[in-house]
Amino acid sequence: MSEAAGGRLRSIEIVEDLTAQSRCDEGFLRLRRLRLRNHYQDGTRSEVYPCDVVSRPGSDAVVAVLYEIDGERRVRVLLRDAPRAPVYLRSAERFVHPDPRVYLSLIELVAGLVEDSDGPGDAGLCRRAAIEAKEEAGVSLRAGQFRVLGGESFASPGTSDEKLRFCCAQTPLSAASAGTGDGSVMEEGACLVALELSDAIEACRSGAIPDLKTELGLLRLADHLGYLPQLRCFIDELPPAVAARYTGLGVAPQR
């Protein structure tokens, strides 16, 4: 594993808290503070209840799973280690289960928000995946080199309308570099981490990589490749009688 971004970041200071004087409809994140009522098929209605919805611009994001398979059929994946201020600031809060460490950085798969200019359908998702791969990992890939990994997944449906989609592409990881990011301070101090796929999934399960979209993206990649992370082998390396019993979960068709 390369030197983590957390090795360079010492702390994050809150210079000013604008919460009390800010409107819900300004800033990068928008908060809709609503009162709702459910209407049921039998004609009855629920009591009115409050519901807050957090939205980002567009609210659709793509996760780009970049990987390589070497001559010994080992699968390695590329991840990004970068500061994440919202997670870091948890250390100042009180929780039922206190965090065991201060999160100076977080390891994640390459990801980014889908934009109108990317276009609709899976082709648009793959175009955005290629753009994010260049910005965040310095990897030049064509949209056509990406494959969509399954359907959509909501990140936190109780509070946010953000939807995640997953794409993967094979690329030599030696060609990767930290990339430029989006140019904001939020992207400063990022570095790349290359891990064997089984090790990366194990790190997610142990909490060393505490990012849900990353664990899901890695598991979808393993299924897409027909790779069994627990055995560190491909399906075609198993005895034929065992391999014949395997059914992959599949991926969404290209649209």
The tokens for 199 are 């090790």
pLDDT over 70 (residue 180): no
Placement of tokens 């990767």 in the chain: 176
Q: Does residue 115 have a pLDDT over 80?
A: yes
CB 147 within 8 A of CB 122: no
Q: Does 227 have pLDDT greater than 60?
A: yes
List of domains in the chain: 5-9+57-234 (3.90.79.10)
Whether 113 shows a pLDDT value over 60: the answer reads yes
pTM to 2 decimals? 0.89
Q: Are 190 and 81 in contact (CB under 8 A)?
A: yes
Q: What is the pLDDT of residue 6?
A: 42
pLDDT the model gives residue 8: 74
What would the two tokens of residue 55 be?
């939205």
Model pLDDT for residues 181-196, shown as the tens digit of each residue? 677 777 788 899 999 9
